[in-house]
C-alpha cells in the first residue's frame, strides 16, 4: 500500500521539473515529471518525492482535514492533548 499526501506547489522550475511544495507547513522539493501540467498554486498528490496527480483544492483540503483529525484522535488517546 502506498500513501500520497496533498501538497500545494509554491515554486516550480519548468526546465528542471523540480518544484517546492508546502505540506501542512513543511516545505519539500519534489519532481513534477509525472505531472507536466502542474503549475504554481496547484494542489497535487505527492508520493516518494514525485507529484503523481493534480487535484482540486477542495479534495486537498478534505484530505488534509482528515489527516489533522486522525492526529488529534491519536494524541487524545495517548493522553497528549
User: 7-18 pLDDT, tens per residue?
Assistant: 999 999 999 999
Look at residues 71, 67, 79, 69 and name the one whose alpha carbon lies nearest to residue 3: 67
CATH code (residue 64): 2.30.30.140
Please tell me the total count of domains within the chain: 1
pLDDT at position 77: 85
pLDDT at position 78: 81
Question: How many other C-beta atoms can be found within 10 angstroms of the C-beta atom of residue 17?
Answer: 17
- Residue 11 sits in which domain range? 5-77
CA dihedral in degrees (3, 30, 57, 15; nearest 10)?
-140
**Which tens digits make up the pLDDT trace of 1-57?**
678 999 999 999 999 999 999 998 999 999 999 999 999 999 999 999 999 999 999
Amino acid at each position: 500500500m502506498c500513501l500520497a499526501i496533498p501538497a500545494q506547489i509554491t515554486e516550480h522550475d519548468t526546465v528542471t521539473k523540480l518544484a517546492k511544495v508546502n505540506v501542512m507547513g513543511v516545505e519539500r522539493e519534489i519532481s513534477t515529471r509525472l505531472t507536466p501540467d502542474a503549475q504554481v498554486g496547484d494542489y497535487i498528490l505527492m508520493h516518494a518525492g514525485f507529484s503523481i496527480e493534480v487535484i482540486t483544492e477542495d479534495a486537498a483540503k478534505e484530505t488534509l482535514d482528515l489527516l489533522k483529525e486522525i492526529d488529534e484522535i491519536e494524541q487524545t488517546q495517548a493522553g497528549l492533548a
